[in-house]
């Protein structure tokens, strides 16, 4: 029984791996479940045993992916720092380096950016909610500029993170993502801070 369960888990992982490759290379809409089955080396029935449809398969891919900015924000929330901007900045370089070094994260970023709007909430929604919480804490601690709401500050930071990753990929890695990304995010965060009196 255990071997059968392990085989089923391996089959599921193989299907997810194949779907990740195909969705990133061909697009979610242009990829059929038959193509996923062939790429995974399984039958179409095996795909349907594990996933109801393409939307369910996409949801499972989302569940196993963690965007680097979510790691940054959870670390900052867990430590309950006085200055959330310092904690975000300390986590930025290693998280961007992880993204730059892992092709699977890059593929998932591509997939999530092109996913249809009706495919359900994903890590971007989670990430934005976490960033709003961090910016709310920055406001409570007197560190957020008075002319910004936590939602506006969060929107600007999430857009900058996503924009940097998207541009790095679109430009065929034309700049050093961890180095340049960290400098630009640090510069932007200075504009979000309150001015000491």
Confidence label for 79 from pLDDT (cuts 50, 70 and 90): confident
Higher pLDDT, 82 or 116: 82
Q: How far does the chain reach from its first CA to its final CA, in angstroms?
A: 68
Residues sharing a CB contact under 8 Å with residue 67, sequence separation 6 or more, in sequence order = 105, 109, 123, 124, 127
Q: Roughly what angle, to the nearest 10 degrees, separates helices 150-170 and 123-140?
A: 140
**C-alpha dihedral (27, 33, 34, 39), degrees to nearest 10:** 70
Angstrom distance (rounded) from CA 178 to CA 93: 5
Report the chain's mean pLDDT, rounded to a whole number: 87
Q: Model pTM? A: 0.79
When pLDDT is averaged across residues 170-183 and rounded to a whole number, the result is 96
Q: What is the pLDDT of residues 38-56, one digit of tens each?
A: 999 999 999 999 999 999 9
Domains present along the chain, CATH in parentheses: 1-63 (1.10.10.60), 67-192 (1.10.357.10)
Higher pLDDT, 72 or 108: 108
Residue 149: both structure tokens together = 């709401």
pLDDT of residue 113: 82
**110 pLDDT exceeds 70?**
yes
Q: What is the pLDDT of residues 4-32, one digit of tens each?
A: 888 888 999 999 999 999 999 998 889 99
Nearest to 120 by CA among 68, 69, 53, 178: 53
Place of tokens 């970023």: 109
Place of tokens 């969705």: 23
């Amino acid at each position: 029984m255990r071997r059968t369960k392990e085989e089923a888990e391996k089959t599921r992982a193989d299907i997810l791996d194949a779907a990740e490759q195909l969705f990133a290379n061909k697009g979610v809409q242009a990829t059929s479940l038959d193509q996923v089955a062939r790429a995974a080396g399984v039958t179409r029935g095996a795909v349907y045993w594990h996933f109801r449809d393409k939307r369910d398969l996409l949801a499972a891919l989302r569940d196993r992916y963690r965007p680097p900015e979510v790691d940054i924000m959870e670390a900052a929330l867990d430590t309950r720092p006085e200055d959330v901007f310092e904690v975000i900045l300390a986590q930025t370089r290693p998280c961007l380096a992880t993204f730059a070094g892992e092709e699977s994260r890059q593929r998932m970023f591509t997939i999530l950016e092109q996913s249809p709007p009706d495919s359900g909430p994903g890590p971007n929604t989670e990430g934005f909610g976490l960033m709003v919480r961090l910016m709310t804490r920055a406001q409570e601690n007197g560190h957020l500029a008075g002319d910004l709401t936590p939602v506006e500050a969060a929107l600007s930071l999430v857009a900058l993170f996503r924009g940097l990753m998207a541009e790095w990929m679109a430009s065929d890695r034309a700049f050093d993502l961890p180095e340049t990304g960290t400098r630009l995010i640090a510069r932007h965060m200075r504009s979000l801070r309150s001015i000491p009196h």
